Every structure is written in C-alpha cells, then in structure tokens.
Amino acid sequence: MTTKQTFKQVRKIKPTRLSVSGHLPFKEGISLPYESTLERDFLFYFTYLPTVAEIVPQPVRIPFVKNGITYHYTPDFFIHFNDGRPSLLIEVKPKSKWQKHWREWKEKWKAAMAFAKQNDCIFHVYDEDRVHHAAFYNINSLQRYKRLQCDLEDIEALLSQVKLLDGTTINYLLARFFGGDFHRGQGLRIIYHLLATKQLTCNWFEPITEFTEVWGFND
C-alpha cells in the first residue's frame, strides 16, 4: 500500500536585494510568498480561480543524482484543484534563464517529472509566455476597482440576482438595476469591483464586455 504524498512548505522565502519578494493574498487568513515578479504574476492568476483549492509554496524536496552526487531540488509551487483535474507541480523561471541553463538543470527537472507522475500530478515550467496571458491582463486591468466604495445594497442586490439566475451577463445586471447612462456607468464599476474582489468571477481569457457572463466566485 502506497502512502499519498502530502505537500507543505519546506523552505522559507527570505527577502533579497537581487529580486522582488513579498506576499500575495489568497484565501482568508492565507497569503502566499513569492521571490520574483514573475512568481508574483504567476500566483496572481491562480488566486483568481475558484477551482484552485490549495497552493503550497516551496512544497517538497526532490532528490536527484548528478555526476554521482545526490542533490535536492525544491519546485516553486504545488497547486491542487477542486474540480478533479490533476494537480500541478510548478517551476517559475524566466525564459532567458531556462534556455541558457536547461542542460545543467535537466537532471533535477527529470526527477521532478518522475516525482510528479508517481504522485498523480503534472510538472510544468512556467516562463513569461505562460504567465502573461490574456487572463492575467484582464484581471490586472480591474485592480483599480478593488478599493471602490460601493453601496452595500447595490452589492447585495447584484450578488443575489446572480445567485438566483445561476450566472448572467453584465448587460442583464446593468439593465435590471442601473437604468440611464450615469447609473449604468456606476453599475459597471460596481460589477468590476465585485470581479476584482473575487465576489464574482468570469471566463478571464475572454475580453470583458457587457456581454460577459459572470457568476458567483464560490458557486
């Protein structure tokens, strides 16, 4: 009988002068450490996915052998989903670095792929091309609405209607609650606020327009 691998942070991330480090809010009471802007941007998208159940930074030490010597490799993140898709074991690395060093890193990455296969997950290397996609830019574009001061009654009405309909379009919500150009503009800002604060969600890979369908983040 095999024991299922559990993942927990095995290495603490400390601030350095050579890179940007910090913490990104994930769920209530949980923030995720990162040690580069690329890692921050990678996390940014995944923290906006309702299907992400768990993100573990620096999740495991994987042994590998190079030139007869045993070393240990620690990937950057482990991501577990709640919709049945395979978990991910992730290395975040700028393209210029992995293209330059892939030969010297291939042993540890082969070990990571074998480890992932044994533990029913998938190992991926994420560079700028995989991190900076349409969804990332859409989410980023709404961050200015995060601190918007909104009427609590407006928020409750919108969320209740979305829940009642099990999802609807932005255009329907505007027509239902915000008649007139001035009120329509205010309503759109409130909906953007709800998206930015993870009270509503949508298909982030599609352009956000009045015809975008939105639904509750936890529905």
Please say whether the beta carbons of 29 and 37 come within 8 A.
no
DSSP conformational letter for 85:
P
Domains annotated for the chain, with CATH where assigned, are 22-132 (3.40.1350.10), 141-216 (no CATH)
Task: Pick left, alpha or beta for residue 123 (phi over 0 → left; psi -120 to 50 → alpha; otherwise beta).
Answer: beta
pTM of the predicted structure, to 2 decimals: 0.88
**2, burial (CB in 10 Å: exposed 0-12, middle 13-18, buried 19+):** exposed
Q: How many residues does the chain have?
A: 219
| Tens digit of pLDDT at every position of the chain (219 positions) | 344 677 887 777 766 666 788 999 998 889 999 999 999 999 999 999 999 999 999 999 999 999 999 999 999 999 999 999 999 999 999 999 999 988 999 999 999 999 999 999 999 999 999 999 999 999 999 999 999 999 999 999 999 999 999 999 999 999 999 987 768 999 999 999 999 999 999 999 999 999 999 999 987
Nearest to 46 by CA among 150, 119, 124: 124
